[in-house]
Chain A
Amino acid sequence: MTTLTDRYVWGAVRTVPERQRAELDRELRERIGDAVDAQVEAGIAPPDAERAALLELGDPAGLAAQYIDRPLQLIGPKYYLTWLRLLKLLIAIVVPCAAVGVAIAQAIAGESIGGIFGAVIGIAISVGVHVAFWTTLVFAILERTPTESGQRGVDVAWTLDMLPALPEPAKASRLAELITSVVFLVAFAVVLVLQHFVGVPWVDDLESVPLLSPELWTFWMPYFLVLIAAEIVFAFALYAWGWNWWLAAVNLVLNVAFTVPALWLLLTGQLIDEQVLEVMKWPWGESAPIIVAILVAVLIAAAIWDVVDGAVKASRRGHSTGSPARGAATSGTSFEGSAR
């Protein structure tokens, strides 16, 4: 045996537990010796034969893993689905909770709108990474934990309750969504315009007093009205094509375009007319920052919810149109996908 073989065998046995080393060492030497002999018989010079034999055996760590049945994947098929389900569930629950919590805390602390956004995004990313890492670590350990033969180890039984709801209503029932959206958006636009002329007619002091600052009409009011028009166009696009990744991206842009300026105007005191604030006797002492914080959190949460909802629907649809055969077997909704 030469140093090359010794090094190869060491490279393999050092990756297995101590008590299995002696046996594996002997077995590998036998196998390498026989392989070298075969090469020599085929007419190759001994030093070259050894190199060729070792090259053919490949990475010693991989060879050792084959011998002792060690998994070469982080999470194998046994746990993969359970891991994926749990991870999706945890991310969907934990990240929004953390983001909203941080948004409330920062708003109470009187942070600027930019600071709140920065903190929320930072926390969302770091919480997401932590959740993904620790969940994966636990499953990677499970994967490597020996179980009684025939047992599946830790297991979550699959039940009928886990069946997903059918994806995306077909175009016909999307009409209801379109009508709801358009009615709401038009009403919103009408309220924005009317409040300027009518005020709050059922409160004496506020009759014919604009609720929102009149200065907003120089730029922001037209901006929001254009945005509402864009939302209406978007609602029609959704009706025509259903959710896809492009529309989900547009949805994100629209949400940011609405929420960020609205929050900025609210927090810098440019949104509500001063006369109105006086009538409302704002600020209401101690509770004022908390009310503002809750308002901010609700606005942010609503925007995040809307964006995530769009992305989820787009991804489901992506799956169902990606495999028409499966879709056709599960529901009639895919008629539309395959007809296109």
Chain B
Amino acid sequence: MNLDETTVAHLQELRRGTVVLACLVRLRTPDYGYALLESLNGLGILVDANTLYPLLRRLEKQGLLTSEWNTDEARPRKFYRTSPTGDALAIALMTDWRRIDDALAGLTTGDES
């Protein structure tokens, strides 16, 4: 798909918040950065490593994620898990997401009629 710059910028803006929501939901089961990146992209939630890694740190700093180093394997990995606060936020975000989806749906059907 060949998208012009404006479209790309708007898509990025639209997706920004959904990545946070996706992380909070996905990390109800603990996982580490790269695995999360792979699984999100596999699910069709497109996110760039340069966005995801700093985002995880920020969410942890805000107390929405907790982390723990797993040193069982040769390479130590930082496992993130959604905190209770993060979970509450995920529910709030999801509710709002649904509301916006409904509203937009109403808007488009209103357009067509």
Q: Which residues of A contact B (CB under 8 A)?
A: 26-27, 29-31, 33-35, 38, 58, 63, 66-69
Q: Which of B50-79 contact A (CB under 8 A)?
A: 50, 53-54, 57-58, 69, 75-78
Q: Would B54 and A31 count as touching, CB distance under 8 A? A: no
- Determine the distance from Cα of A68 to Cα of B76 in the docked complex, in whole angstroms: 21
B97 in contact (CB, < 8 A) = no
Question: For the complex, what is the distance from the CA of A67 to the CA of B53, rounded to whole Å?
Answer: 8
Contact A67 B75 (CB under 8 A): no
Contacts A67-B54, A69-B58 given: A26-B76 contact, CB under 8 Å?
Answer: yes
* B49 at the binding interface (Cβ < 8 Å): yes
Contact B54 A34 (CB under 8 A): no
- Give me 11 other A-B pairs in contact (C-beta within 8 A), A27-B33, A29-B75, A69-B58 excluded: A26-B76, A27-B57, A27-B78, A29-B76, A30-B33, A33-B75, A35-B34, A38-B34, A66-B53, A67-B57, A69-B54
Closest B residue by C-beta to A56: B49
A38 and chain B: residue at smallest CB distance: B34
Minimum CB distance partner of A149 in chain B: B62
Contacts of B49 in A (CB 8 A): 31, 35
Provide the residues of chain B in CB contact with A33, threshold 8 Å: 75
Most-contacted residue by chain B among A26, A27, A33, A68 (CB, 10 A): A27
**A30 in contact with B78 (CB, 8 Å):** yes
Pair B33/A31 contact, Cβ less than 8 Å: yes
Bound form: Cα–Cα A30–B50 in Å: 14
Determine whether the beta carbon of B78 is less than 8 Å from that of A26. Answer: yes
Q: Which residues of A are found within 8 Å of B69, using beta-carbon distances?
A: 26
Nearest CB of A to B113, in Å: 33
Tell me if A's interface is mostly helix, strand, loop or mixed. Answer: helix
Chain A: which residue is nearest B35 at the CB level? A34
Interface residues on B, range: 10 to 19
CB distance from A30 to the nearest CB of B (A): 5
Distance in Å: Cβ of B82 to nearest Cβ of chain A: 19
- Nearest Cβ on chain B to A102's Cβ, whole angstroms: 50
Listed by A's residue number, 8 A-B pairs whose Cβ atoms lie within 8 Å are A26-B76, A27-B78, A30-B76, A30-B78, A31-B34, A34-B34, A66-B54, A67-B57
CB distance from A321 to the nearest CB of B (A): 26
Q: Which 7 A-B pairs have the closest CB atoms?
A: A34-B34, A66-B54, A33-B75, A67-B54, A30-B77, A67-B57, A31-B53
**Contact partner, A30, options B32, B54, B57, B58, Cβ 8 Å:** B32
Report how far A38 CA is from B41 CA in the complex, Å: 14
User: Distance (Å) between the CB of A82 and the closest chain B CB?
Assistant: 26
CA distance A35 to B54 in the complex (A): 15
Query: Using Cβ atoms and an 8 Å threshold, which residues of chain A touch B53?
Result: 27, 31, 66-67
Chain B contacts for A27, CB-based, 8 A: 33, 53, 57, 78
In this complex, the member of A34, A38, A63 whose beta carbon has the largest number of chain B beta carbons within 10 angstroms is: A34
User: What is the minimal beta-carbon distance from B31 to any residue of chain A, in angstroms?
Assistant: 12
Whether the Cβ atoms of A66 and B33 lie closer than 8 Å is no
Residues of A within 8 A of B57 (CB): 27, 67-68
Docked Cα-Cα span, A29 to B77, in Å, equals 9
Report how far A34 CA is from B36 CA in the complex, Å. 12
A63 contact set on B, CB distance < 8 A: 50
